[in-house]
Structure 1
Amino acid sequence: MTMESSPLTIAQLAELAGVSTATVSKVVNGRSAVSSETRAAVERLIRQHGYRRQRRRSPSMAVVELVFHALEGDYPVEITNGVAEVAREHELMVGISDLRRDHTAGDAWVEGVLRRRPSGVIAVFSGLTEAQHEQLTRREIPLVLLDPADAPGKNIPSIGAGNWNGGLSATRHLLELGHRRIAIITGPDSALSSRARLDGYRTALDMAGVSVDQRLVARGDFFIEGGLAAAQRLLRLPDRPTAIFATNDGQAIGVYHAAHQLGLRIPDDLSVIGFDDMPSVRWAIPPLTTIRQPLRQMASAATSMVLKLAHGEPLSHSRIELATELVVRDSTGPPARLS
């Protein structure tokens, strides 16, 4: 069948009209809250091509589905709490999926979501393929990316944090204390946040006239084990760093363990700064200096976005970035030679 001879579905009409499926649904169901121009355009397409009403579907479940790349550490707890705050206000439940350290959802997960029909999906530090996103769109299941692992597609709303500014602030703090041999433990090369934090680190060094020593740039994975392994290599260098910027708090804890193994005191022998400001790091010994990423606020905002989309309401912004903030505690100080 060709488009000209076969009546169109809501998704096809929406694509031709350049509007959301929710808007077309309002038109075909005689609902208000659609501008007269948009309504006329959709009705003109229906007269031209026809409209094929799909079989009546079961209503969406009163659930917001969270999909995490990994359910480890404080990170998913903070995000889940932020989502739950908004979900409770709307009498929604929160469902959770774990991709087991993968950043892309598999087809089996997507098929399960299509069966469950949640009110919306929030993908955390992960994403969907273009085909999977199209599957959700056809079923009118809105998707929002939270702390996206890679650059979001043009039609996918997202919310993140000021990763570049955070990397800049962390490195500036160490420079202001007098450090010049400052190492960084990155996250995965594929992660948007990791690349931005590394760029902020490089910019701060460049602005201070300090050249980047590639031996001090260690690849990590955003997990404690990765931070431990990277710190062990860095701290065994002949001219070891006097400070390490671990690009998340988990890796910073790994640095603590590596320093303890080598008999180094924090911050007397080594300054350490993390990124995230998870609740547990203020109880580390010594309490961790870090960059606060407002994960709960990010999660609440993402939930509000997905619920607006579920109700067919337009978003004022499809890309939101919340500010990060330096939190100084006891894990950073001047290098030993300046003490």
Structure 2
Amino acid sequence: MVTETMGKVTLASVAALAGVSVPTVSKVVNNRGDVAPATRRRILDALDRAGYLPPGQRRPPVPVAPRTIDVVVDSVTSAYYAEVMDGILECAESGGTEVVLSKMGGHPAEEKAERMRERGRRGLLLVTSRWSSGQIKAIQNRGIAVVVIDPINPSGPGVSSVGATNWAGGKAATEHLLDLGHTRIGFIGGPASAECSQDREHGYGAALLERGIPIVEDYVRAGNFDADTGSEALARLLALDRPPQAVFAASDSIALGVLAHARTRGISVPRDLSVVGFDGTYIGEQAVPQLTTVAQPLKEMGRTAVRALLREMGGDRPEPTRVELATRLIVRSSTAPARNSS
């Protein structure tokens, strides 16, 4: 039985519009048969003009969650992601923002955007995203604000991103090894397409060239930001006629793989091989020996990205920017002077 009130439309207002009694309107609404055809048509016309919809045709209200953001990561197992997520969650919590976390999978970007829209969410934070600039653009075209932290693939124009001074950090790491007297220095990077890895490699190359040391192509390796890459790359570097005296790894995880493989080969670090990582995560302190590394402000990168995303969601959309936070070299016990150096 329909009640007296139907949203903003009442039986009384429809009855007044049709010039009939409230019980008569109720009979029509409830599909009772004891109403004259002419009267029924007049009431139906009044219901239509009043904008009344039967309960079965009413759409539920779209949920609105302006203070909820989606965060998509490639993995949740590395120290890098743990520290970035710590900054994201800290900033979100302090601002009363909820976070929905998901893992980068095989779902199309458009499908992700549609699911977000259905749930009333309008902000997406991508951490080391492998999505192409075209996929990110497809998300933005559906009204979703996007900010990227350390994209693997170039994000393209119109997308704000947050990272670190990767070129300067790569240069500082290599200069440290050069200052220790090392001249044969290998570089083990992440994916060849990753902008952050490219910048670290370019910093490595710039430091060598400034000292008049040519870049040896065989000393440069690429893979993923994981320990397996470090282990496999070091095996190949050691197979060279003149293997490196030192290695600059583009992530702490890669560096851990280098240390592990060196142990299996009976190579002492840092006596026989100096190793520098990149990230400054807690695993560097726990390594044996403790890892010299270029520290990124990972937590602050997460906080900065959340603040930028919330601004875009709120309608404050300046020209998309690339924010780069400063890195710093932390010297520990995995590096030492070259054995042929004073």
TM-score by length of 1: 0.78
Q: Distance in 2 between matches of 1:199 and 1:80?
A: 28
Instruction: List aligned pairs for 1:1-339, cutoff 5 A.
Output: 57-60=62-65, 62-99=67-104, 106-126=109-129, 128-129=131-132, 132-315=135-318, 318-338=321-341
Task: Describe the shift of the 1:115–1:227 C-alpha distance in structure 2 as closer, same or farther (beyond 3 A).
Answer: farther
Is the 8 Å Cα contact of residues 68 and 99 (structure 1) preserved in structure 2?
Answer: yes
Task: Describe the shift of the 1:311–1:106 C-alpha distance in structure 2 as closer, same or farther (beyond 3 A).
Answer: closer
Q: Distance in 1 between matches of 2:90 and 2:185?
A: 39
Unaligned runs of 5+ in 2: 1-59
Task: Describe the shift of the 1:105–1:236 C-alpha distance in structure 2 as closer, same or farther (beyond 3 A).
Answer: farther
User: What is the SS of the residue equivalent to 1:244?
Assistant: strand
Q: Distance in 2 between matches of 1:260 and 1:155?
A: 46
Task: Describe the shift of the 1:316–1:88 C-alpha distance in structure 2 as closer, same or farther (beyond 3 A).
Answer: farther
RMSD across aligned positions (CA): 2.2
Q: Distance in 2 between matches of 1:131 and 1:255?
A: 36
Is the 8 Å Cα contact of residues 248 and 276 (structure 1) preserved in structure 2?
Answer: yes
Q: Distance in 2 between matches of 1:234 and 1:127?
A: 28
Unaligned runs of 5+ in 1: 1-54
Kindly provide the amino acid, as one letter, of the partner of residue 153 in structure 2. D
Greater gyration radius: 2
Task: Measure how far apart 1:205 and its partner are.
Answer: 0.4
Is the 8 Å Cα contact of residues 186 and 247 (structure 1) preserved in structure 2?
Answer: yes
Task: Measure how far apart 1:115 and its partner are.
Answer: 2.8
Kindly provide the amino acid, as one letter, of the partner of residue 270 in structure 1. L
Identity among equivalent pairs (%): 35
Is the 8 Å Cα contact of residues 105 and 126 (structure 1) preserved in structure 2?
Answer: no
Q: Distance in 1 between matches of 2:76 and 2:315?
A: 31
Kindly provide the amino acid, as one letter, of the partner of residue 155 in structure 1. G
Task: Describe the shift of the 1:128–1:181 C-alpha distance in structure 2 as closer, same or farther (beyond 3 A).
Answer: closer
Instruction: Give the structure 1 partner of residue 7 of structure 2.
Output: none
The number of aligned residues is 283
Q: Distance in 2 between matches of 1:191 and 1:216?
A: 19
Greater Cα offset, 117-126 or 137-146: 137-146
What do residues 216-246 of structure 1 show as CA deviations (whole Å, max 9, x unaligned)?
1112211111111111111232322110001
Task: Measure how far apart 1:163 and its partner are.
Answer: 0.7
Task: Describe the shift of the 1:302–1:263 C-alpha distance in structure 2 as closer, same or farther (beyond 3 A).
Answer: same
Task: Measure how far apart 1:298 and its partner are.
Answer: 0.8
